[in-house]
Amino acid sequence: MKYKNVKKAEFLDRPNRFIANVKIDGQIETVHVKNTGRCRELLIPGCTVFLEKSDNPARKTGYDLICVQKGDRLINMDSQSPNKAAFEWVQSGSLFPEKVQVKAEQVYGNSRFDLYVCSEKRKAFIEVKGVTLEENNTARFPDAPTARGVKHLEELIRCMEDGYEAYLLLVIQMKGITRFEPNWNTHREFGETLQKAEKAGVHILAYDCLVEPDHMEIQDPVPVYLEGNYDR
């Protein structure tokens, strides 16, 4: 997936979940943050961020904050980009060997899954989760308790019982990651439900991404470790 009209800026502060103050070409500007997660380890005063200029003149903010530089690693923190990248990736034939039809936002039971895939060989639901939390080259999810995430895992188990294939696709929005594991210290229930889902046959997949200021694409598989360890 690609962005248009990307601009480099300096992050100053984040008054609330939805906006941030940045410095662009020496001028202070308030921008929209395309991620309502905490992201405290990413948005540090003085860090370099990248913005996409909005083409909507009626908006209060003229830019969206989409990427952040963390050391020598560029991290995409746009919460909408994983679904878009996943749709393109699955549709291109990167996940399944046969030609498939891909539909976004498909309702099943009490949930709305991100992708539904069908072909002569399969009917599958895919739930996509974007991952931006990294520590010592280990990616973790979630960065805050997520009852919605637990619900999605339970629904994936149920759809398997009805004969569908089920996938959790963890889109790690950066390169240089050596492993993925649940964020046990933040939300133990999510980790336990993830273990339950894997035992039930849900496919747990993690992939890193090639990230540039103006685009992001899913690239290489990352090993998934689901062993419980709550005080790492």
Q: Is the pLDDT of residue 228 over 70?
A: no
Q: Is the pLDDT of residue 231 over 50?
A: no
Give the pLDDT of residue 26. Answer: 94
Residue ranges of alpha helices (H) inside the chain are 81-91, 147-161, 188-200
Tell the residue number behind the tokens 């996943």, with chain if given: 86
In whole angstroms, what is the distance from residue 141 CA to residue 193 CA? Answer: 13
Query: Are 224 and 205 within 8 A, CB to CB?
Result: yes
Domains of the chain: 6-76 (2.40.50.580), 81-221 (3.40.1350.60)
- Cα–chain center distance at 63: 20
Structure confidence by residue, pLDDT tens digits, 96-107: 999 999 999 999
213 upstream amide cis, omega within 30 of 0? no
Q: Is the pLDDT of residue 78 over 70?
A: yes
Give the pLDDT of residue 193. Answer: 97
Global confidence as pTM: 0.94
Q: Is 154 exposed, middle or buried (0-12, 13-18, 19+ CB in 10 A)?
A: middle
Give the pLDDT of residue 227. Answer: 84
Cα torsion 98, 99, 104, 109 to 10°: value is -50
Structure confidence by residue, pLDDT tens digits, 125-179: 999 999 999 999 999 999 989 999 999 999 999 999 999 999 999 999 999 999 9
Structure confidence by residue, pLDDT tens digits, 211-223: 999 999 999 999 9
Structure confidence by residue, pLDDT tens digits, 10-55: 999 999 999 999 999 999 999 999 998 888 899 999 999 999 999 9
The larger pLDDT score, comparing residue 9 to residue 143, is at: 9
- As a whole number, mean pLDDT of residues 64-69 equals 98
Averaged pLDDT of the chain? 95
**Strand residues in 34-149 grouped as ranges (E):** 48-53, 63-70, 73-76, 101-108, 111-118, 123-131, 133-135, 138-141
- Cα–chain center distance at 184: 18
